[in-house]
Amino acid sequence: MTQKLILSIVTPEKQLVSEEVDQVNVPGTEGDMGILYDHAPILTVLRSGQLSYEKEGKTVVLVVSGGYLEVTDNRVTVMAETGEFLKEIDRERAERAQAEAEKRLGETDISEEEYIETQKKLFRAIARLENSESN
Amino acid sequence: MPNLKDIKRRIRSVKNTQQITKAMKLVAASKLRKAQLAILEARPYAVKMMDVLNHLAARCNSDLHPLLDEREGNKHLFLIITADKGLCGGFNGSIIRKTAEHLKKNPQNENSLIIAGKKGNDIFRNRPVNIVDDHIGWTKDFNYLKAQEIGESLATLFSEKKVDKVFMIYNEFKSVMAQEVIVEQLLPVVPEKLEHKEGSFAVDYIYEPDEEAILDGLLKRYMTVEVCRAFLESSASEHGARMTAMDSATRNAGEMIGALTLTYNQARQAYITKELIEIVNGAEALKG
């Protein structure tokens, strides 16, 4: 019998994924990680980037932005701020968001908080664009 | 004998009311659909968040973070969530009753309230209780950012030791027909004790970057998510309650119209009979 991980990916808007998979690859803040069966319990912060999982030889790719990953007892829980399947990404919107964020970051009247927020937006947009390029 | 004109006027006025309640029911139904979807989709995230936080909090010391700090004090803060509008059955009333019950348990000067919704504010404004803040009109423009703002203000009050416990009182959405008033302790966050099975032990996590940073981030997020969920629950419940209330109001109005129409017809018949008798009598008198 093959040993499976139970993966669930949730965002504040909805539950994206809830199924049994073979492997999960996530973008951790300290570097990308691959998670296989019997992984040690881990709790980590995610950055914006590409998350993929393998199921029966097929790979499904999502782009997530920020959030947390928990692994216990072969349950993988991803709590992302936003998450989209690769095929759902709206490139035009992401490009617009990137341009806007870059423009705003270049201005001088920006507060520290807004700077951080805008920077996050920029990373999110870049992550979306980079990962959807292959399509 | 009831006056025909009066009855007719009453029938018309009940009919008007029925039209209004019917319209309100339809509006509530369409809003309910949206609110229901929102809460059903937000729940999994909130549940997972709670799970992870529980796992984490059970493993680390409660003095690691101010929001986990269990204190002896008795200063309670209640965040109560009511609607801005009435006409939704016992929706607001049950919240207010529950709140009053909890306020009684504690000496007066140890309680404080944060009130969301006009209806709750109308009631508690005139009572001898300390109101820290109110959010009137939240039903119109509630979003995640608002929840964050409220969550942060609660966290600040708590970590500055102005209050020792924070509760939320809101209606939880059970189904379209049913809501349940929930009193939930928000702060300090009390982790459920992990079950220690024989032969197994709580394995410590590998943390990246480190425990404290993750805990801090998670707790902040948790506050927002819980507050947001409570508001969404309340909003779905409100529309459900209003729909049910308006449905029964429409039905009652229908019954009333039926009864009034019956009286009207009886009165009309009696009037005709009376006139006929008068005419016949008159004719008889002439004959004689």
Distance from CA of A111 to the nearest CA of B (A): 18
What pLDDT score was predicted for residue B53? Answer: 84
From B65, B67, B59, B121, select the one nearest B96 (Cα to Cα): B121
Annotated catalytic residue B88:
yes
Distance CA A60, CA B123 (A): 54
What pLDDT score was predicted for residue B194? Answer: 56
DSSP B221: H
- Are A24 and A70 within one domain? yes
In the predicted structure, residue B64 carries a pLDDT above the cut 80: no
Closest Cα in chain A to B44? A15
> Residue range A110-131: average pLDDT?
79
Residues of B in Cβ contact (< 8 Å) with A9: none
Query: Which tokens go with B139?
Result: 């039903």
From the list A13, A30, A41, which residue is nearest B205 (CB)?
A41
Least confident of B22-31, B180-189, B195-204: B195-204
From the list A8, A43, A44, which residue is nearest B48 (CB)?
A8
Q: What is the ipTM of this complex?
A: 0.73
Closest Cα in chain A to B229? A12
> Residue range B157-181: average pLDDT?
91
pLDDT, mean over chain B: 87
- Cβ–Cβ under 8 Å, residues B240 and B15: no
Residues of B in Cβ contact (< 8 Å) with A41: 203-206
Query: A9, A14, A74: which to substitute to probe chain B, counting the most B Cβ within 10 Å?
Result: A14
Q: How many domains does chain A have?
A: 2
Q: Inter-chain contact A15–B49, Cβ cutoff 8 Å?
A: no
In the predicted structure, residue B1 carries a pLDDT above the cut 70: no
In the predicted structure, residue B195 carries a pLDDT above the cut 60: no
Query: A39, A45, A82: which to substitute to probe chain B, counting the most B Cβ within 10 Å?
Result: A45
What pLDDT score was predicted for residue B198? Answer: 43
Q: Where are the beta strands (DSSP E) in B179-264?
A: 179-187, 206-208
In the predicted structure, residue B157 carries a pLDDT above the cut 80: yes
What pLDDT score was predicted for residue B96? Answer: 92
> Among residues B88, B163, B168, B186, which one is catalytic?
B88
What pLDDT score was predicted for residue A100? Answer: 85
Distance CA B241, CA B229 (A): 18
> Residue range B89-106: average pLDDT?
90
Distance from CA of A106 to the nearest CA of B (A): 25
In the predicted structure, residue B234 carries a pLDDT above the cut 90: yes
Least confident of A81-95, B26-40, B242-256: A81-95
- Cβ–Cβ under 8 Å, residues B264 and B8: yes
What pLDDT score was predicted for residue B206? Answer: 83
Please count the helices (runs of H) and the strands (runs of E) in chain A. Answer: 2, 8
pLDDT band at B73 (very low <50, low <70, confident <90, very high): confident
Distance from CA of B70 to the nearest CA of A (A): 24
Residues of A in Cβ contact (< 8 Å) with B55: 43, 70, 72
What is the phi/psi pair of residue B162, to 5°? -75, -30
pLDDT band at A134 (very low <50, low <70, confident <90, very high): low
From A69, A126, A127, A133, select the one nearest A102 (Cα to Cα): A126
- Are A9 and A73 within one domain? yes
In the predicted structure, residue B90 carries a pLDDT above the cut 50: yes
- Are A12 and A70 within one domain? yes
CATH number at residue A30: 2.60.15.10
What pLDDT score was predicted for residue A61? Answer: 87
Q: Domain of A76? A: 5-86
Distance CA B169, CA A82 (A): 29
> Residue range B52-73: average pLDDT?
78
- Are A13 and A55 within one domain? yes
Q: Inter-chain contact A68–B214, Cβ cutoff 8 Å?
A: yes
- Are A80 and A117 within one domain? no
- Are A68 and A10 within one domain? yes
In the predicted structure, residue B111 carries a pLDDT above the cut 90: no
From the list B52, B206, B209, which residue is nearest A29 (CB)?
B209
Q: Inter-chain contact A10–B44, Cβ cutoff 8 Å?
A: yes
pLDDT, mean over chain A: 84
- Are A79 and A96 within one domain? no
Q: Inter-chain contact A43–B214, Cβ cutoff 8 Å?
A: yes
- Are A62 and A24 within one domain? yes
- Are A15 and A65 within one domain? yes
Give percent of chain A with pLDDT exceeding 90: 15
Closest Cα in chain A to B38? A13
Query: pLDDT per residue over A38-78, tens digit each?
Result: 888 888 999 888 899 998 888 888 888 888 999 988 899 99
> Residue range B212-226: average pLDDT?
86
Query: How many residues are recorded in chain A?
Result: 135
- Are A81 and A117 within one domain? no
In the predicted structure, residue A1 carries a pLDDT above the cut 80: no
> Residue range A24-47: average pLDDT?
89
Distance from CA of A134 to the nearest CA of B (A): 30
Supply the DSSP string of B143-172, one letter for each residue.
-HHHHHHHHHHHHHHHHTTS-SEEEEEEEE
Distance from CA of B86 to the nearest CA of A (A): 29
- Are A102 and A68 within one domain? no
Q: Inter-chain contact A45–B217, Cβ cutoff 8 Å?
A: yes
- Are A23 and A65 within one domain? yes
What pLDDT score was predicted for residue B200? Answer: 45
pLDDT band at A7 (very low <50, low <70, confident <90, very high): very high
DSSP B109: G
From the list A14, A15, A79, which residue is nearest B52 (CB)?
A79
DSSP B77: E
Q: Is A4 exposed, middle or buried (0-12, 13-18, 19+ CB in 10 A)?
A: middle
Q: How, if at all, do strands B179-187 and A31-35 pair?
A: unpaired
pLDDT band at B204 (very low <50, low <70, confident <90, very high): confident
